Structure 1
Amino acid sequence: MSDTDSFIDEVTEEVRRDRLFVMLKRYGWIGGLAVVLIVGGAAFNEYNKSKELAASQKLGDEMIAALSSEDESARAAELSAISAETPGGAAVLAMLQAGALAEADNLDEAVARLQTVSLNAELPLVYRHIASFKALGLQQDSLSSADRRLQFEALAQPGAPLALLATEQMALLDIEDGDVNAAIDRLKTIVEDAGVTADLKERATQVIVALGGKLDEAVTSEG
């Protein structure tokens, strides 16, 4: 390489360094701002997590204190005085309030609390289905068999969180309507389901036997 070429390379490199220095001097604040934003964002997230945890602990303590009351009416009143800051916490609280109201023989208000949860589209499906299931259980004497069947059918759709429990309730409605064969068939689908719990399987099996039905030997041996 000639001295001229070497000199040109050195000048070019120097120019590059000068340009880089000017760029950093002119736009370096952007990098600094990015660092501040990243650190600030992480701190804000940690603050939010800490705030949510504190709120959850406070809600849990208040619910436990209210549930410790031995008087049904007092328990319902204390639970009704509690408020929750998150949708999930509010849903759990509403279901506890409904339970206390039902124990205090205030079924209409209990059902109303549960229905607000079941109709809240912002909540996960499992919350809404549990609330619907509990509400239907409280309406055995006030809702017709046909209306309860229609709502339990919606809860018993494949893949639904409470599908097997809703199917069990539909089998009981079959028995109530005098359709024993339909009840046995429904209960068999529960027993044969891979996701059935031991308690539900045993309960369904006992009802099948009580109704005069028979189970496959393979299913019986698995139990």
Structure 2
Amino acid sequence: MANQNDSFIDEVFDDLRRERLFRLYRRWGWLALLIILLIVGGVIWREYSQARDAANAREWGDAVLAAEDAGDPAAIMQVDPNGAEGRRVVAALLAAGDWAAAGGKDAAIEALRAVAGDPETDTVLHDLAELKLVMLQGRDMEPAERDEILSRLSRTGAPFELLALEQKAVALIDAGRKDDAISLIRQIQQKDGLSEGLRRRLSEMMIALGEEPEMTESTIAG
């Protein structure tokens, strides 16, 4: 008899639980369904956005390459960046490089100054534009401006620290400060992270200044 009572009580509790769950579902089921729909919708939108961005990037890259192949730097800058500021800056840097290679120094300088003078430009791209500007203008740049830019770009930990230090050595040579240039070159040669190309250029500068170059494996092998 006790077993029958226990079974009856269990059935009653089961019915009550089902009834309670049913009421909860009727009251809050729509909310659970809405949450599921929002999650699924968010995933679908993210996938769509990523695919759209990838397609836009490919379209932009193809247009830039086509303009480069046509030998028209101005056309590179006219390619629609589709709202991406970084693409506009990269296009300007590419166009400046093409102009400089083709002898259009003034146009290249104008493009680089536009990038360097834009406060919205990414820090690394801004510094790259300034470095290219210094390299392109060389001794034609105002000495004070040249020194100010290179002092900033050559600070410890800066993205183009070593290349900026190399340009500082070039500026010292242009200013007739041979001993200072030699001293700076030797300091640069002791730094970590020098590429083989930079080591070679520094050695060539030392030779041009009448000094013995730094002895490296490539120097010995060469």
Tell me the TM-score range normalised by the shorter chain.
0.7 to 0.9
1:113 maps to 111
**2: CA distance, partners of 1:124 / 1:80:** 17
Which of residues 120, 133, 136 is equivalent to 1:135?
Answer: 133
The CA RMSD over aligned residues, in Å, is 2.8
**1: CA distance, partners of 2:30 / 2:113:** 54
Aligned 8 A contact 1:188 1:215 in 2: no
Q: Look up the SS of the partner of 2:138 in the other structure.
A: coil
CA deviation after TM superposition for structure 1 residue 151, in Å: 0.5
Count of aligned positions = 215
Deviations 1:81-108 (A, max 9, x none): 322121221111111222344435361x
Deviates more, 1:155-164 or 1:142-151: 142-151
CA deviation after TM superposition for structure 1 residue 216, in Å: 6.7
Deviations 1:100-137 (A, max 9, x none): 44435361x43332233234454432211111111223
**Paired letter, 1:78:** A
- Say if 2:208 is the partner of 1:210: yes
Which of residues 67, 83, 90 is equivalent to 2:80?
Answer: 83
Which of residues 76, 89, 92 is equivalent to 2:90?
Answer: 92
CA deviation after TM superposition for structure 1 residue 65, in Å: 1.6
CA deviation after TM superposition for structure 1 residue 52, in Å: 1.5
User: Matched residues, percent identical?
Assistant: 31
The TM-score, its normalising length taken from structure 2, stands at 0.81
Deviations 1:34-85 (A, max 9, x none): 2211221122122222222222212222222221235xxxx13432432212
Aligned 8 A contact 2:96 2:111 in 1: yes
Deviates more, 1:44-53 or 1:208-217: 208-217
Aligned 8 A contact 1:208 1:214 in 2: yes
| Distance of aligned partners of 1:215 and 1:106 in 2 relative to their CA distance in 1, 3 Å threshold | closer
Deviations 1:12-48 (A, max 9, x none): 5543443232112211122211221122112212222
**1: CA distance, partners of 2:207 / 2:136:** 28
Aligned 8 A contact 1:76 1:104 in 2: no
2:160 maps to 162
1:191 maps to 189
**1: CA distance, partners of 2:96 / 2:214:** 41
The TM-score, its normalising length taken from structure 1, stands at 0.81
Q: Look up the SS of the partner of 1:195 in the other structure.
A: coil
